[in-house]
Amino acid sequence: MTPRPGKGVAAEGERLQKVLARAGLGSRRACEELIEAGRVTVNGAVAELGRRVDVEHDEVVVDSVPLSVRSGLVYYLLNKPAGVVTTASDPQGRPTVVDLVPPDPRVFPVGRLDVDTEGLLILTNDGELANHLTHPRYGVEKEYFALVEGTPSAGSLRRMRQGVDLEDGMTAPARVALVPPGGLRITIHEGRKRQVRRMCDAIGHPVHRLVRTRIGPVTDRRLRPGSWRVLTAQEVRTLERAAAQSPKSRPAKGRADLAGDPTKADR
């Protein structure tokens, strides 16, 4: 009986060290050392040097962090301008984020920035990583710059740091810093709809302009509005690591509807 691909030890497929090197873990020799050190598993079993893998079926994990190895995966970093909607198509005929990146292969946005919000957005065809970056249980940070009305007091900033009571419940504590004049640097790890705007409204300082400046460890101050680039293999790896190393015990209260849907988070 012929073993099913991806089960047991693969007799065919690519050498594991080659797959690891392509995923950005270093030279082939460095990847061989990872394997020899017992830091790589395939389908739950510690891999040995010479192991071959089926990239379409096998699960490869390095230092307890799953590694995306399937062929054809792409990852784009886009600096979304205001006025562009975060959907694949728009019935009103407005420009979409998908219009700004290559049409093939088909990708989808990871999370959502509302039409007036600017800044960094990842688009990919890697559904597993997309879910990890948006699901509340993984707690991947997103950082924003908000230009607000007036200057928040120390008490207002303390409210945001401790949690703001919104109509859908108390927010998790945020990291907030004043950026004079009239600016706030806000870091959150939830994905509630228009969360940053609603938090600022709640403390009496409505947002005039909102820009996402960081997704997990990924940032790029040189990427111009409307421009995109391919994420490096190392950046993809750091995103995978960020999701694996900061899981929450359960989805945030009232946010289970986000599970498995990387399009619902909206700010």
Is 76 in contact with 228 (CB distance < 8 Å)? yes
Identity (one letter) of the amino acid at 174?
A
Pick the closest to residue 211 from 184, 193, 190 (CA basis): 184
3-state secondary structure of 37: coil
CA distance 76 to 41: 28
55 contacts: CB under 8 Å, gap ≥ 6: 13, 14, 19, 69, 70, 71
Q: What ranges in 64-207 are assigned the alpha helix state H?
A: 127-134, 154-162, 195-202
Active-site annotation holds for 220: no
Pick the closest to residue 242 from 131, 109, 136, 133 (CA basis): 133
Q: Which of 90, 114, 201, 266 is catalytic?
A: 114
Is 222 in contact with 119 (CB distance < 8 Å)? no
258 contacts: CB under 8 Å, gap ≥ 6: 134, 135, 136, 191, 251, 264, 265
Q: Which two tokens stand for residue 37?
A: 């050190």
CA distance 63 to 41: 9
What is the C-alpha radius of gyration for the chain, rounded to an integer number of angstroms?
21
**Residue position matching structure tokens 């990919």:** 124
Is 125 in contact with 108 (CB distance < 8 Å)? yes
The catalytic residue positions are 114
